[in-house]
Amino acid sequence: MASYEALYRRKCQSPLYWTELSKRTIIGPDLVDITRKIDLIKQKLLIVESRQKSYADFYQTTLEFDVGDHVFLKVSPLTSIGRSIKAKMLTLRFIGPYEILERIGPVACRIALPSYLSNIHNAFHMSQLKKYHPDPSHIIEPEEVELYENLTYKVKPEWILDVRDKQTRNKTIKVVKAFWKGLSLSDATWEIEEWIQCEYPYLFSW
């Protein structure tokens, strides 16, 4: 039984179900019955709310950073196709580590960025950071990445994995499967051969 029907003892008026309203007084056992149903509905809603909260809490972790800690910065690779930008199939990546200089409120930090990232504002939300746990055995060589202000960077294809013909409505075009530098094989994407050959001729030097 729907909550509306339990409360008002009638179905909700809608284009699918329409009845005339009438003056109706609920007294005696009917009132007690409605009160019990309302209490039952409230209990079930509380159970559902508690269950949903437990699901959300399981995947949510509290991030704690202190001044002097080192963190990785989350960035997104993208490929440019003509005038459009595509980053849906490319995985997120972390660069760094960088030192935390200052805490800005409970959810933001200011970090020390290198000079080649001077065009980026150095204050970030904690969701963009990942804590680095120092280990003397780690050998980290920082890679210079030209980031845009929206924390994305352009990647270039490293080699061609496959070539095939694709039939469109009016013609047949050649497409290639490009492997992008610094990404995994699962991030390889199909691109138009003519565009790839124009933008990255070194891939076809063979």
Residues 129 and 69 occupy one common structural domain:
yes
Residues 55 and 66 occupy one common structural domain:
no
Q: Where are the alpha helices (DSSP H) in the chain?
A: 3-8, 29-59, 193-199
- Predicted local confidence at residue 19, as pLDDT: 52
Residues 85 and 69 occupy one common structural domain:
yes
Q: Please report, rounded to a whole number, the percentage of residues in the chain having pLDDT higher than 70.
A: 72
Residues 41 and 71 occupy one common structural domain:
no
DSSP 15: T
pLDDT band at residue 83, thresholds of 50, 70 and 90? very low
Computed over every residue of the chain, the mean pLDDT equals 78
Cα–Cα distance list, 119 to 88, 116, 122, 151 (Å): 24, 8, 9, 11
How many structural domains is the chain composed of? 3
Summarize pLDDT for 147-198 with one digit per residue, the tens.
878 888 888 888 888 899 988 888 888 888 888 887 778 778 888 888 888 8
- In terms of residue numbers, what domain contains 107? 62-151
- Cβ neighbours, 10 Å, residue 2: 10
Residues 121 and 178 occupy one common structural domain:
no
